[in-house]
Structure 1
Amino acid sequence: MCGIAGLICKDRQILALDEIGSKMNTSLLNRGPDDSGIWIDNDIGILLSHTRLSVNDLSKAGHQPMLSSSNRFVLTFNGEIYNHWDLRQELEITQGSQNWKSHSDTETLIQAIECWGVYKTLTKLIGMFAFGIFDRKENKFYLARDRFGEKPIYWGITGVGTRKVLIFGSDLKALKSYPEFNNTINRESMGLFINYNYVPDPHSIYENIWKLEAGKILEIDVTDDDYSKIYPMSWWQLEDTIKNVDGREIENESEAINLLKQELIKSVKSQSKADVKITSFLSGGIDSSLVSALLQETSNSQINTFTIGFENKRFDEATYARRISNYLGSNHSELIFTNEDALNIVPKINEYYSEPFADPAAIPTLLLCNAAKSQGYTVALSGDGADELFGGYNRYTMAPKIWKYFGIIPNFMKPMLINSVNKLSTQSIDLIGSILKIRQFRERLYKITDKISYSNSLEDLYYRLIREWSDVSSITEYKYNQPFTPISNERLNQSIHELKLDPVTFMMVIDCLSYLPGNNQVKLDRASMAVGLETRSPFLDKNVGELIWRLPINLKIKNNCGKYILKEILADYIPKKLFERPKAGFATPINEWIKGPLREWAEEMLNSNKVRDEGFLNPEITTKLLNEHIQGVKDNSKKLWSALIWESWIDKNI
């Protein structure tokens, strides 16, 4: 795993590219602490930089930026190509014996591009990656990103006049290290963040800076100074994968289970290869337990598993992980954190996430990655991606159920429903929740009544369930066009709606295109890279991903429970009694923290004069939210958390 960055400039003479490259590498040292390099062509005006976390081939032979054997191509690459040994064999067949200088996947990638070209090579890759490669013969520069957006890449335009540059990097910190970075905050992106707690791709928090979307590529003629002609193109689209399923559906359950099991075994086996110490994150849930079980299945020795726990037993799941580990016989490590340990992370979140990011699960994820690295691990397998691909989120079962019973209510009656709920005391609601044995019943009831009152269809209800505000303009000092969706309406109407998916599959597709790369992969990548840890996600393997869409929805969600087929596979390795329980995820007591140990910080961040002077959020609304929450009138923790993260980010970035 690594950090990559670079730029293309109009002014070939004035810019000190070596100094800029050094600053870029310094900003990305956490992503690549083991080595760094810079490649410059002053005549063309191009800079490629790289910081390296050594995972495969720890020698200097894997140094980047790397030149191809003919010196035609120069590559800066972040990621892992899991099938690179297969590609080497194919290259041997195609071109004859190769004079390989290393056993790094970087060399395999650049030689594959020299043989097959960029576009054909991309279709052959199985792995996670973001890379920039310069073709010195054609004066073409390419920037590409993997299918599921596991590895990040920002790009855009900054500077003024002849010193305007096209710039790219793994992290916004690299782009901002350019001395004349002058991009202002994008108000539309701010609204997206306040609504979703992250900035969805392809947006970034800055004007004229974008994230390259998953499965996209930029092709740039470096001799053309007109940057307005540059736009991303798709080298892969999820919609095409789904279209190709037609006639290839797998209806037989036993066949589906067997095929998926074999693909997952292959994925785990390929992703467990490394020249460094490797572990498997184990929470005790379905996803991480299956990855750990398959890792042990494919290993000739005792595997390592790792988990963290919390002193607060309401949020501690270490016991479940311990039981799974005992059954598998893994070498298990467990670190217990106090409430204070978690709270100490909060003021530092914006140091790790250079773009505002308000998923509270970032806190335990940061603790987990830091703890794993402190135990000597450089690579960790995770269960990320299973929820989106196998129907694991509650909204996939909850939204259709809600719409079935409440969607028939006429619009004129919906305000009456809200008023009736609002008149109930919190004690009464909590009592009903305890009788019905529904966790977080009060929060869910408020959320459901609010969302259903404004929804006109099941699709509309889904969008409202995944965002916090019915009208985000009410908290921001900016008027937005409604409705907000996490992906472009153009893509929705031109490719996704044309698929004519059932409602649940539609939700899963939107989550795969937005929430997976924009929230979950960001959360894991930034947390792991903050400490120089590489994380790998076997569920996001290319072949697993293609097989998933051939499975009918009833093999993913059955009896109102998601991940049915994964549970059936896991039952071959672990008794169901050890893993069957309600989904929890990485829970954090944000509600309690804002009322208690974080109250002073929250009041400082949302001070009405401070908020008013900065001019982004509405101070009357933020004050009202905070007062209601502290007084116990209403649980506003989710809305408050995005406001708090925004204000703390602004403090460090304007």
Structure 2
Amino acid sequence: MCGITGFMGGKLAKAEERAAVLTAMADRIRHRGPDDGDVWCDPDALVGFGHRRLAIVDLSPAGHQPMKAASGRYIIAYNGEIYNHLALREALEQAGAAPQWRGHSDTETLLAGIDAWGIDATLRRAVGMFAIALWDRQTRVLTLARDRIGEKPLYYGWQGTAGARSFLFGSELKALHAHPAFEKRIDRDALCVYMRHNNVPGEHSIYQGIRKLLPGHLLEVAPHRPERVLRSYWSGAQAALQGAREPFAGSADEAVDALERLLRDAVRQQMMGDVPLGAFLSGGVDSSTVVALMQAQSSQPVRTFSIGFHDDVYNEAEHAKAVAAHLGTDHTELYVTAEQAMAVIPRLPTLYDEPFADSSQIPTYLVSELARRRVTVSLSGDAGDELFCGYNRYQITASLWRRLSAVPSSVRSAAAWLLTRVSPRSLNRLAASHPGAARWANIGEKIHKGAGVMAAGSPAELYLGMVSQWQNPGDIVVGGVEPATMLTGAAPELDGLGEVERMMALDLLTYLPDDILTKVDRAAMGTSLETRVPFLDHRVVEFAWKLPLDYKLRQEGASYTTKWILRQVLYRHVPRTLIERPKMGFGVPIDSWLRGPLRDWAEDLLSEQRLRREGMLNPTPIRRKWQEHLSGQRNWQHPLWCVLMFQAWLANETAFESTLAERAA
């Protein structure tokens, strides 16, 4: 796991100037690779790479990057892991295409594969996560590549004036800041879509002219051909459609057996490395499955990590401890106070580089920091919900649409108005008296959110409303126009999928890379910890899409069991009594913090005078929600956190620019 950066073109004519800029760019992402770093410049072209190394496989200088191919044709700067690289080496050797190996790093394997098979074929053979920059000294073409699902980030874009245009790229935006051509102009349209989704999704970035490379894509650009050539080598949408066309034909028991074999192999491959390794453990289905399969293949107790909170609503540590005790792991837990959790907030703008407002970023950082004290690599259970239908919103949305579509929209609108006349707090109190109260946690907020989308004209529109933080973000971003995304008019072709599967596919393409994987990558790499996600082995992903929906979301009596097949795998290793309980999010009580210890901080960022002076956001709807939240009339923690994380990021950017100006003076 590392950090990469670089540039092509521009006016840095002297070799020492190019090296200095590359060093500065790489130093901005030193946290991604504190063990080693270097830069490389092509003496015959204005092309340079910077690299920061977190040494995981082959700790010797033979794993040093940027790395030159044995043929001398290619130079690579690479971030990630190729879990099957030893199998790729064997294939190269059998074909007589292997070089004289200098070490045992997967970077060297990648280069040898590219030399022999080309980059497209090599990536299709590879099982792993990665962001790659590759310079072909023969064709003078720069190629960028990103892994299939989007575990590793990669930003890029042309910056600067016509006479000094530079193509910049990097694992994080902060690396681009160090290049003299970087323009740093906020994209108000991207800010609109951020306010809807609490992240800057898809190809967008918060800066004009800078994009993210989409998962499963390659990009080519050259000094003589500055227009980007973008192509896909793997598609999540196609994996979903292919699975629907060619479903698994075996029995449910056979499917459970097949899934366990695949997951066991994925976990085994991801346990490779020359450094201490462990796993996050929440005690839920996903992380418990990963840890169980790790422990089943380890001769030593697996190191596991969890954090706890003294608020029972947010605390999963006791469940994790019970699972760890049953499996016999070497378990470490840390109970953190609200003060310790809130102390992370000032670091968030720097960690995430652009506005990001999933508040579970706070505990994710804390558990990463805990794990890094003992290990360099940690496996996680992320993506189980998206692949095996773990989110209740899938079934709720589909069920709700079946009912709503039978009612005229005018009647639905009137019903929504009536539902919102009762406060969420009153609805919660009413639900608390119900015999099945545990199933109705925060039902008041859910009813109010559902009421806001009752007039939806399609399942897609209904789902968009369910996952939106601000329903009309164009109303709060001054001068911004919301661009189309996969959820707002630019959806991929998903005909052939049912309503639930379509929502799962869209989450695989959007929510997973844009929110979940972004959150984990930045939080973990902020502590120099590598994270690995066995569920995102593309063989597991493709198999999951072949499974009938009933193997994932199974109706048992009057209720539904989510992630049914994954649970069956887990119950072979862990008693169901340790797992069966209502789903709990990995969060913190932002709602009460904003009314209490964070109130002054938030009031400063949300003050009407400040918002008007900055000229980015319309204060009227923001102030209305803030007052309703403070009064307890509504819980607006999520849309307010979106605004607060942007405001904190903007303040951090302004402070950083002021510091640079003072140093220059």
Same fold (TM over 0.5): yes
Q: Residue 364 in 1 paired to residue 366 in 2?
A: no
Aligned to 1:590: 590
Aligned to 2:651: 651
Matched residue type, 2:110: L
Mapping for residues 77-116 of structure 1, pairs under 5 Å: 77-95=78-96, 98-116=99-117
For the 8 Å contact 2:188–2:477, the answer to whether it is kept is no
Tell me the distance in 2 between the aligned counterparts of 1:212 and 1:313. Answer: 40
Q: Residue 175 in 1 paired to residue 171 in 2?
A: no
Q: Secondary structure at the match of 2:407?
A: coil
Q: Secondary structure at the match of 2:554?
A: coil
Q: Runs of 5+ in structure 1 lacking a partner?
A: none
Measured against aligned partners, the alpha-carbon deviations of 1:472-527 in whole angstroms (never above 9, x if no partner) come to 12222235358x5445744x2xx423x32101110011000011111100000000
Aligned to 2:300: 301
Measured against aligned partners, the alpha-carbon deviations of 1:288-330 in whole angstroms (never above 9, x if no partner) come to 0000000011112221111111122321110000000110011
Aligned to 1:496: 493
Aligned to 1:278: 277
Matched residue type, 1:128: M
Matched residue type, 1:496: E
Tell me the distance in 2 between the aligned counterparts of 1:501 and 1:116. Answer: 35
For the 8 Å contact 2:151–2:513, the answer to whether it is kept is yes
Tell me the distance in 1 between the aligned counterparts of 2:448 and 2:18. Answer: 55
Aligned to 2:41: 40
Give 1:451's match in structure 2, choosing from 438, 450, 453.
Answer: 453
Tell me the distance in 2 between the aligned counterparts of 1:481 and 1:304. Answer: 45
Tell me the distance in 2 between the aligned counterparts of 1:5 and 1:427. Answer: 49
Aligned to 2:663: none
Tell me the distance in 2 between the aligned counterparts of 1:98 and 1:390. Answer: 42
Aligned to 1:553: 549
Q: Choose 401-410 or 20-29, whichever is displaced more.
A: 401-410
Mapping for residues 78-477 of structure 1, pairs under 5 Å: 78-95=79-96, 98-224=99-225, 227=226, 229-245=227-243, 246-374=245-373, 376-436=374-434, 437=437, 438-453=440-455, 455-477=456-478
Tell me the distance in 2 between the aligned counterparts of 1:231 and 1:150. Answer: 22
Residue 405 of structure 1: how far off its partner (Å): 2.4
Measured against aligned partners, the alpha-carbon deviations of 1:548-585 in whole angstroms (never above 9, x if no partner) come to 11101111111223211000110101110100111112
Q: Runs of 5+ in structure 2 lacking a partner?
A: 655-665
Q: Percent identity?
A: 37
Measured against aligned partners, the alpha-carbon deviations of 1:364-418 in whole angstroms (never above 9, x if no partner) come to 00111011112x2100000011111111111111101212223322122233213
Measured against aligned partners, the alpha-carbon deviations of 1:60-118 in whole angstroms (never above 9, x if no partner) come to 11000000112111000000000000000001011266411111100111111011111
Tell me the distance in 1 between the aligned counterparts of 2:99 and 2:423. Answer: 75
Matched residue type, 1:430: N
For the 8 Å contact 1:397–1:561, the answer to whether it is kept is no
For the 8 Å contact 1:158–1:167, the answer to whether it is kept is yes
Q: Secondary structure at the match of 1:626?
A: helix
Tell me the distance in 2 between the aligned counterparts of 1:190 and 1:481. Answer: 8
Q: Choose 397-406 or 238-247, whichever is displaced more.
A: 238-247
Residue 241 of structure 1: how far off its partner (Å): 2.3
For the 8 Å contact 1:487–1:513, the answer to whether it is kept is no
Check 1:571–1:7 CA distance in 2 against 1; reply closer, same or farther (3 A cut): same
Q: Secondary structure at the match of 2:420?
A: helix
Q: Secondary structure at the match of 2:652?
A: helix
Tell me the distance in 2 between the aligned counterparts of 1:247 and 1:125. Answer: 23
Tell me the distance in 2 between the aligned counterparts of 1:603 and 1:349. Answer: 18
For the 8 Å contact 1:8–1:47, the answer to whether it is kept is yes
Q: Choose 19-28 or 299-308, whichever is displaced more.
A: 299-308
Q: Choose 150-159 or 231-240, whichever is displaced more.
A: 231-240
For the 8 Å contact 1:44–1:223, the answer to whether it is kept is no
Q: Choose 214-223 or 276-285, whichever is displaced more.
A: 214-223
Aligned to 1:544: 540
Tell me the distance in 2 between the aligned counterparts of 1:111 and 1:220. Answer: 22
Tell me the distance in 2 between the aligned counterparts of 1:443 and 1:317. Answer: 22
Residue 642 of structure 1: how far off its partner (Å): 0.3
Residue 624 of structure 1: how far off its partner (Å): 1.2
Tell me the distance in 2 between the aligned counterparts of 1:59 and 1:479. Answer: 50
Residue 468 of structure 1: how far off its partner (Å): 1.9
For the 8 Å contact 1:212–1:232, the answer to whether it is kept is no
Aligned to 1:505: 501
Tell me the distance in 1 between the aligned counterparts of 2:248 and 2:652. Answer: 51
Q: Secondary structure at the match of 2:580?
A: coil
Check 1:312–1:553 CA distance in 2 against 1; reply closer, same or farther (3 A cut): same
Tell me the distance in 2 between the aligned counterparts of 1:616 and 1:353. Answer: 20
Aligned to 1:524: 520
Matched residue type, 2:506: I
Matched residue type, 2:234: W
Tell me the distance in 1 between the aligned counterparts of 2:92 and 2:367. Answer: 39
Tell me the distance in 2 between the aligned counterparts of 1:185 and 1:134. Answer: 30
Measured against aligned partners, the alpha-carbon deviations of 1:411-456 in whole angstroms (never above 9, x if no partner) come to 2223321331232245531222213410011111110111113x11
Residue 640 of structure 1: how far off its partner (Å): 0.6
Matched residue type, 2:318: T
Residue 21 of structure 1: how far off its partner (Å): 0.5
Q: Secondary structure at the match of 1:103?
A: coil
Residue 251 of structure 1: how far off its partner (Å): 4.7
Tell me the distance in 1 between the aligned counterparts of 2:145 and 2:72. Answer: 20
Measured against aligned partners, the alpha-carbon deviations of 1:95-150 in whole angstroms (never above 9, x if no partner) come to 26641111110011111101111111111000000100111111111100000100
For the 8 Å contact 1:192–1:486, the answer to whether it is kept is no
Tell me the distance in 1 between the aligned counterparts of 2:135 and 2:423. Answer: 64
Residue 209 of structure 1: how far off its partner (Å): 0.4
Matched residue type, 1:395: R
Q: Secondary structure at the match of 2:343?
A: helix
Tell me the distance in 2 between the aligned counterparts of 1:389 and 1:222. Answer: 41
Aligned to 2:572: 572
Tell me the distance in 2 between the aligned counterparts of 1:328 and 1:219. Answer: 47
Residue 546 of structure 1: how far off its partner (Å): 1.4
Tell me the distance in 2 between the aligned counterparts of 1:30 and 1:639. Answer: 30
Aligned to 2:622: 622
Q: Secondary structure at the match of 2:51?
A: strand
For the 8 Å contact 1:407–1:452, the answer to whether it is kept is no
Check 1:608–1:280 CA distance in 2 against 1; reply closer, same or farther (3 A cut): same
Alignment coverage as a number of residue pairs: 644
